[in-house]
Structure 1
Amino acid sequence: MYEETPSVARNVGSGRRPRRAVYPVISVAVAGAFALTALPAAYAAPSATVVISEVYGGGGNSGATLVKDFIELGNAGTAAHDLAGYSVQYLPGSPSASSLWQVTALSGSVAPGGRYLVAEAAGSGGTAELPTPDASGSIAMSATNGTIALVSGTTALTCKTAADCAADSRIVDLVGYGSAVVREGGGPATGASNTASVARAATLADTDDNAADLAAGTPTPVNSGGGSTDPGDGGGDGGGSTEPGTVRVHDLQGTTRLSPLNGQTVTRVPGVVTGVRATGSRGYWIQDPRADADPRTSEAVFVYTGSATPTVAVGDAVLVSGKVTEYYPSSTSQSVTEITGPTETVLSSGNPVPDAVVLDSASVPDAYVPTAGGGSVDALPLQPDTYALDFYESLEGMRVELSDARVVGGTTAYDEVWVTVKPGENPSARGGTLYSSYDQPNTGRMKVMSLDGTVAFPKADVGDELTGTTSGPLDYATYGGYNVQATRLGTLADHDLTREVTRRQKGRELAVATYNVENLDALDAQEKFDRLAEGVAVNLSSPDIVALEEIQDDNGAVNDGTVTAEATLTRFTEAIRAAGGPSYSWRYVSPENNRDGGEPGGNIRLAFLYNPERVSFTDRPGGDATTATSVVKTKKGARLTYSPGRINPASDAWDSSRKPLVGEFRFQGESVFVIANHFGSKGGDQPLHGRYQEPTRGSETKRHQQAAEVNTFVKSLLAADKDAKAVVLGDLNDFEFSQTVNTLTDGRVLTPLVKTLPAAERYTYVYDGNSQALDHTLTSPAITHFDYDIVHINAEFADQASDHDPQIVRIDVSKCRK
């Protein structure tokens, strides 16, 4: 398993991002649970500057005109009040023990005498939008009772009584309405409903008595620009004007990756809706049909509606107002320019959408991205004619199309499929795209997703084709980078990719295989055991020895201290036998609990299966999780002190990582040493498509140390017997051209067999549409006659038993050097 993208995080890459979530309001009335105590007089001096001027929680409810809840602030002072680091927070009117304050962070400032509008959650009703908010949150406020606090800080409050809140110096102002327990003065402000807010007088007078200071009335939200909403104009801002503002989409997109208007509010930006995302990270794309002459400036932008389902449709001509924001899906990704907290006016419907930009070999540059010495490329002027990522960025949000695109990464569990718009770019033997060097990331790769949730997404394998035209807005996400959010999806042409079956070994050939079985444990479904077993018995033709990676303990992710894997291996070997394979025996060394990385509680480890009818295992007891095996020179050659054993398990190189498993086998009178490996994952490396270029591959450091440990052990083996037959294999989590492999082979003590294959066949894993070699088999110099094969049965398919392909080497021991 690659271990780079936890499945929950993959939701981000599918347009389902974990930020801006709507948290349910916990409002359980418990009679007498909290005393209705007024705030003591010592609470705080009435504010002469910023106060909560209006509160409305009925947005989108039955009878409401406005679609969203809101909180309005006012500044009674004579100077602007900076709100950076402030928040507004909400507590149910009758809080229970489990009730939590919900927080919306603020930014910017409120002018003297001015107002500041905070939009909160939308309901399913209403017809009028708020004026463009100055800040947006997702709090679903009660229409009739609750407490709002203006807080100097963004950490959630913990007080749940008036007295406790009075003692919290972070609270700048507080409004309790309805029957709120937490309030200022003798009682809460009354009269709030689906159609009424509670508001201060125009003077913003504050006597620290909510009942006296605020009165119920028609909601009148006002933003920092003075824009208000007339409930009769159908929403919008500034009185529902149908005239475009002064800013066009290309103005806010600019000529770099960051908007020159980032953080600013824009008004009535015109465009035509080209795509709507109604689930997950909701919003829609608008594109201006009137493009400027600068190829660097995108003509489209994503309008983020938060938890609210967009009410616009493709083809609507709209004017959009809101705040320009650069959203970073992750700390190392590029950003997405968005309009957030939006209001829109629909001018007309059924308009034609702008023509799509064609993505193909002629339009997409061959160079990938400019370098910034490992720094950010955010501020670099875009060069769309030179670099592929600059080209894609210049099209951010715009309609693009690709035709008759070959699939280079099978459909994922998240309904994503990778295709190439450059069919001649580094093709693999079976239809994929090879990743063969750090400086050739393959510019034609593109992830395709669908905005139409009513149509089943096609299950495609590598080498299949999306025929016809696939088109939609060009988006960007954490995992994979740029992707097409298809409003039109091509038709799948199945090219019938088949799973390979390798030949059976001959009598004098020792067959040694490696297979990453992706967190196999005894609690897994029988189907997983059966499919993996078929891979061993049929596709690998029952090797004599199989080195397994990712064997978990007997209860998998249950974190109770169990470390044995007897039940897991029993079920697996029984399944292999049922699939027509031999009755395998096994050997492994149990790890210390939670010390070998992988899934917590799973106690991932390496294990050997071997066919006792063809090969014998030389048991030398004493090896355990913390005891290292070593090499002893004898008159008959090298032998291990412990078999099975581990390589230097106390080394820092193996912290939170699998320790190599070494075994001494006998085959037709010859000793063969097998070293199984599962090096540290690539988790934490910066992505190829990210803002830092060249990306830092920080995980390499540990793999280089691990490779050096194995190399040192192999050298000790060859020092004891220069003709020792050693097979080093497993999931190295690194490429054939990497420093990891170079370190492992230092001194020419090992030959990497992947380099003996034609270039088009050198891959065991497919990631982001790149076919790449992460699993390897290497042999010592004495092994001179062999037949090596990577058996493609998983990585290229939508339906996988594991995410890795196994591989096998058949060694003619009779012809090896002695």
Structure 2
Amino acid sequence: MPSKKSARLAALTVAAVCSAASTVALTSPAHADTVAIHDIQGTTRLSPYAGRAVTGVAGIVTGVRAYGSSRGFWIQDPNPDADPATSEGVFVFTSSIPKVAVGDSVTVSGTVSEYVPAGTASGNQSVTEITKPTVTVVSSGNPVPAATVIDAKSVPGKYTPAGDAAAGNSVNGVTLRPKKYALDYYESLEGMNVQVADTRVVTATDPYTELWVTVKPRENATERGGTLYGSYTSQNTGRLQIQSLGATADFPVANVGDTLAGRTTGPLDYNQFGGYTLVANTLGTLKSGGLERETTRKQRTGELAVATYNVENLDPSDGTFEEHASAIVNNLKSPDIVSLEEIQDNNGATDDGTTAADVTVNKLIDAIVAAGGPTYDWRSIDPTNDTDGGEPGGNIRQVFLFNPKRVSFTDRAGGDATTAVGVKKEHGKAALTVSPGRIDPANTAWTSSRKPLAGEFVFRGRTVIVIANHLNSKGGDQALHAQYQPVVRSSEVQRHQQATLVNAFVKGLLKVQKDADVIALGDMNDFEFSDTTKILESHGALWSAIKSLPRSERYTYDYQGNQQVLDQILVSRSIKRSSDFEYDSVHINSEFHDQVSDHDPQVLRFEP
């Protein structure tokens, strides 16, 4: 999966230039209407005044955003109507630094607009705004309207209504039912002053000074303080993103399980980086939950330990080699085989045709030795330049590290970027035609994506075939909070094709040797309950071993308040049927603000 950093930078670029293109266009009458904020907001997601000029809209300033590409301020009517579906707040987009202050009583004239963060193609909901405003300050120092409390009692248990089929499954025109659906509830408060209190952090502070909390501490709670995303139908309604209108330096640096004690108060916004967001004027006080990084146990003499670890675009210029090495040695206890994903070429993002990654890999191996670990050997195949996706110029690929004192690699010549690995019978056992080799690399399923790397290993006389994967990312999927419900997960199409090819290859191995020890592991970019995983598992070829863990421990990634599975180790029948295999999702990154990768590594131990 592309790093959140690169995806976020791309989204920021889009946000800065697409304001006009992302506005829902409606016909504008010639006259201006004098209306109240709740009239502008209406009872659906789209304002009945969208595209129309309004005048004399009255309200109290509740928040001022003087930074970024969406400068402006929020106003709220201190005299609400009786309809809970109509918000009493609205954002006034100024583009330049606003000349108002919190507590100012103002009247605003301008044009009502529906702005879609990240553009209409994103499928996101829109934000009702007043644009091109003329602002009159009537008085200053007024009390801000009391914040609406968002808590476990106020947020409904159902996440979203179904979209209108006649409108392409959009919820935009569906009348809000804030007492029934969480997304309707949040929409009914869009632009209003809101408050949460004593909320638990469920996604750590990121580099963009934002974090996620839950107002429902018991909702799908994990043992370490997060919130589990366990199926498409069990959405976590209590999640809410927190940003701040204050100084960046004052934003809390939090880990999962910490608490924002006391009150956090400010306008409720909506953005492309997570949907509904409390943009705080007042932040609660950070209270540490004391979360510590996990350490797995060391494998026993007769156990083979196999791990997968996405090291997030690692190249020689990075300053994270010592930390990754320490994680492998101290937290993973030096597994016998480590499948690394996102190893970049020797000059990283420099796009000059370089594809070799020996400098990158050997720098990591040296760091592992310095950390007290073994001198790993390694195998990989350099990709054809700029064909495998990821950061442009980076040429990411999977790499096998293995401890030659514990396990040997069976080299079979002929593997390269374009040659397909096959299956053959050797001495009555399944073997690879080339090792290492790539699975069907010319197949269109792998266009702009990483090709699986297959390798043949021997441990204590037993052959184990390992397939390192990094399937197509989720880029392009609609967000859980999108206007289209159910959301469209367009990236699945290619990922399903890829899973079908991996499954077919494993079935070919098992046809030759039904009790072959086969492991397919890596960043699958999909959940353990997904159709991608079901395809990988089909016909009993493989089984995702993370499902051996209790549900509350099944996560490898933390995204927008949802702890979820992206990294998996799938095993063949012979391994699943053994009584001695053990799986561990080692939580060292995803829950922490100072993560060196956004993925947690996974370890499988078994006796071949």
Work out whether residues 548 and 608 of structure 1, in 8 Å CA contact, stay in contact via their aligned partners in 2. yes
1:787, 1:810 within 8 Å by CA — same for their partners in 2? Answer: yes
- Residue 140 of structure 2 corresponds to residue 352 of structure 1: no
Aligned to 2:185, the other structure's residue is in SS state helix
Cα distance in structure 2, aligned partners of 1:455 and 1:515: 32
- 1:326 partner SS: strand
Among residues 528, 552, 555, which one is paired with 2:347 in the alignment?
555
Alignment of 1:562-711 (within 5 A): 562-711=354-503
Cα distance per residue 1:161-213 (max 9 Å; x no partner): xxxxxxxxxxxxxxxxxxxxxxxxxxxxxxxxxxxxxxxxxxxxxxxxxxxxx
Q: Which of the pair has more CA radius of gyration?
A: 1
Give the corresponding residue for 1:810. 605
Measure the CA separation in 1 of the matches of 2:3 and 2:474: 7
Residue in 1 that maps onto 2:551:
759
Counterpart for residue 791 of structure 1? 586
The 3 A distance-change label for structure 1 pair 767 and 12 is farther
Question: CA, structure 1 residues 553+674, in 2 after alignment: closer, same or farther (shift >3 Å)?
Answer: same
Q: How many angstroms apart in 2 are the aligned matches of 1:547 and 1:494? A: 34
CA distance in 1, matches of 2:571, 2:520: 6
Equivalent of 1:542, from 316, 334, 338? Answer: 334
How far apart are the structure 1 equivalents of 2:603 and 2:78? 57
Report the counterpart of residue 159 of structure 1 in structure 2. none
Distance verdict in 2 for CA 1:12–1:294, change over 3 Å: farther
- CA-CA distance at 1:20 after TM superposition: 5.6
- AA of the residue aligned to 2:582: D
Q: Equivalent residue for 1:195?
A: none
| Residues 1:412 and 2:206 are matched in the alignment | yes
Deviation digits for residues 115-144 of structure 1 (CA, Å, limit 9, x no counterpart): xxxxxxxxxxxxxxxxxxxxxxxxxxxxxx
Alignment of 1:485-504 (within 5 A): 485-504=279-298
Question: Which amino acid in 2 is paired with 1:810?
Answer: R
Q: CA deviation at 1:7?
A: 2.6
One-letter code aligned to 2:81: D
What is the distance in 2 between the residues matched to 1:2 and 1:522?
18
**2:84 partner amino acid:** P
2:42 is aligned with 1:248: no
| Residues in 2 aligned to 1:663 and 1:359: alpha-carbon distance in whole angstroms | 53
Change (3 A) 1:107 1:261: closer
CA shift in 2, pair 1:110/1:546, >3 Å: closer
Instruction: Give how far 1:727 is off.
Output: 1.0
1:440 aligns with 2:234: yes
Give 1:291's aligned residue.
80
1:277 aligns with 2:65: yes
CA shift for structure 1 position 555 = 0.7
> Quick one: which amino acid aligns to residue 251 of structure 1?
D
1:9 Cα offset (Å): 3.6
Q: Could you tell me which amino acid in structure 2 is paired with residue 7 of structure 1?
A: R
Q: Distance in 2 between matches of 1:711 and 1:109?
A: 56
For 1:651 and 1:672, the matched residues in 2 are separated by 25
Q: CA deviation at 1:19?
A: 4.1
Return the offset for 1:17.
4.0
- After TM superposition, where is structure 1 displaced by more than 2 Å over at least 4 residues in a row? 1-5, 9-13, 16-21, 106-111
Deviation at 1:348, TM superposition (A): 1.1
- Give 1:652 deviation, angstroms: 1.3
State the Cα distance separating 1:2 from its structure 2 match.
4.5
TM-score, scaled relative to structure 2: 0.95
User: Which residue of 1 is the match for residue 91 of structure 2?
Assistant: 302
Instruction: Tell me the percent identity.
Output: 58
Name the residue aligned to 2:596.
Answer: 801
Q: Cα deviation per residue 1:578-633 (whole Å; 9 max; x = unaligned)?
A: 11110001000111111111111111101100000111000001011110111111
Whether 2:9 is the aligned partner of 1:8: answer yes
Amino acid at match of 1:673: I
Q: Is the 8 A contact 1:12 1:478 kept in 2?
A: no
Rounded to whole Å, the distance in 2 between the matches of 1:595 and 1:799 is 31
> What is the rounded CA distance, in whole Å, between the counterparts of 1:295 and 1:456 in structure 2?
34
Q: Report the AA paired with residue 681 of structure 1.
A: S
Q: In the TM superposition, what are the counterparts of 1:4-43 in structure 2 within 5 Å? A: 6-11=7-12, 17-19=16-18
Segments of structure 1 that go 5 or more residues without pairing to the other structure are: 22-84, 86-105, 112-223, 226-244, 814-818
Matched, 1:429 2:217: no
Partner of 1:263: 51
TM-score (norm 1): 0.71
Looking at structure 2, the residues matched to 333 and 639 of structure 1 have their Cα atoms a distance apart, in angstroms, of: 48
Say if 2:26 and 2:50, in contact at 8 Å, map to a contact too: no
Tell whether the 8 Å contact from 1:11 to 1:414 is kept in structure 2 after alignment: no
Equivalent position amino acid for 1:672 in 2: V
Give, in angstroms, the shift of residue 751 of structure 1.
1.8
Look up the equivalent residue of 2:495 and give its one-letter code: R
Partners of 2:479 and 2:234 in 1: how far apart? 14
Q: Which runs of 5+ in 2 are unaligned?
A: none
Q: Which moved more, 1:746-755 or 1:296-305?
A: 746-755
Higher percent of residues as helix = 2
2:130 equivalent to 1:339: yes
Alpha-carbon RMSD across the aligned residues, in angstroms, is 1.8
Residue correspondence of structure 1 range 146-157 to structure 2 within 5 A: none
Provide Cα deviations, 1:660-698, integer angstroms capped at 9, x if missing partner.
Answer: 000000111111111110000000011110111111001
